[in-house]
Amino acid sequence: MYNVVFVLGPPGSGKGTICAQIQENLGYVHLSAGDLLRAEREREGSQFGALIEGHIKNGSIVPVEITCSLLENAMIANKEANGFLVDGFPRNEDNLSGWKKQMGGKVNEQFVLFLSCPVDVCIDRCLHRGQGRTDDNVESLKKRVETYNQQTFPIIEQYEKHGMVREVNSQRPISEVYQDVVEVFSAANQK
């Protein structure tokens, strides 16, 4: 059984930043669905490159069969990990149902870490991220936020109904956000 923590929040809420620190200090392996899709987009011979790029530019969600297989392969390649930080997944109903179908019975879902932050702050962070992402522009960001509000937030609400969401306000200095996140992990792993 793989331990899994889903990490969700608006684009630019700091998911990747916090996951990198958790990976460094707590032995969880960080798997960003977006990073895996970008790597697949660049992989020579991939049949999905153009499809992935279309979705990324549009802020829409890639079919789950592609994303879930990338996640499962990365988990198999890191079997020794204490657990996995699955960052940016599940993003919509298709992600959620496909994950349950492919991974149900193979994973222990510990909790959902929800990094909450006002959208205007998040957009400003993305526009100043400086990583050259093809979707860090005003037009794509508008669509990404729309996708988040319409498709991803309802998934967080579903997990909330099951008492699985741990919300941390990420509109604060990174060190403060990280401190609260560590407390969430400590509480979860004491059980």
Ligand X SMILES: Nc1ccn([C@@H]2O[C@H](COP(=O)(O)O)[C@@H](O)[C@H]2O)c(=O)n1
The CB-of-34 to Mg ion minimum distance in angstroms stands at 5
Name residue 31's beta-bridge partners.
Answer: 86
Report how far residue 127's alpha carbon sits from residue 148's, in angstroms, rounded to the nearest whole number.
17
From the list Mg ion, ligand X, ligand ATP, none, which binds 170 (C-beta under 5 to 8 Å, kind-based)?
A: ligand ATP
Interacting residue with ligand X among 13, 95, 110, 170 (CB under 6 A): 95
Q: Hunting for tokens 């895996």 — which residue is that? A: 36
Query: Which residue number, 16 or 83, has a Cβ lying nearer to Mg ion?
Result: 16
Task: Indicate whether 10 belongs to the interface with ligand X (CB under 6 A).
Answer: no
Q: Is residue 83 near ligand X by the rule CB under 6 A?
A: no
List beta partners, residue 3. Answer: 108
Interatomic CA distance for residues 42 and 37, integer angstroms: 9
For helices 93-103 and 64-76, angle between their N-to-C axes, nearest 10 degrees: 40
Q: Is 36 or 168 the residue whose CB approaches ligand X more closely? A: 36
Q: Is 125 in the site for ligand ATP (CB under 6 A)?
A: yes
Binding mask of the shown chain, residues 4 to 23, with x at each position contacting Mg ion by CB under 5 A: -----------xx-------
Residue among 144 and 166 whose Cβ is closer to Mg ion: 144
Measured CA to CA in angstroms, residue 41 lies from 26, 48, 99 at distances of 30, 7, 21
List of residues 6+ apart from 14 with CB closer than 8 A: 115, 117, 125, 170, 174, 177
Q: CB-wise, 57 or 172, nearer to ligand ATP?
A: 172
SS3 134: coil
Exactly one of 43, 101, 106, 129 binds ligand ATP (CB under 6 A); that residue is 129
Largest Cα–Cα distance in the chain? Answer: 45
Contact residues toward ligand ATP (CB under 6 A) are 9, 11-17, 34, 88, 125-126, 129, 170, 172-174, 177
Residues that bind ligand X (CB under 6 A): 11, 32-34, 37, 55-56, 59-62, 67, 88-89, 91, 95, 135, 144
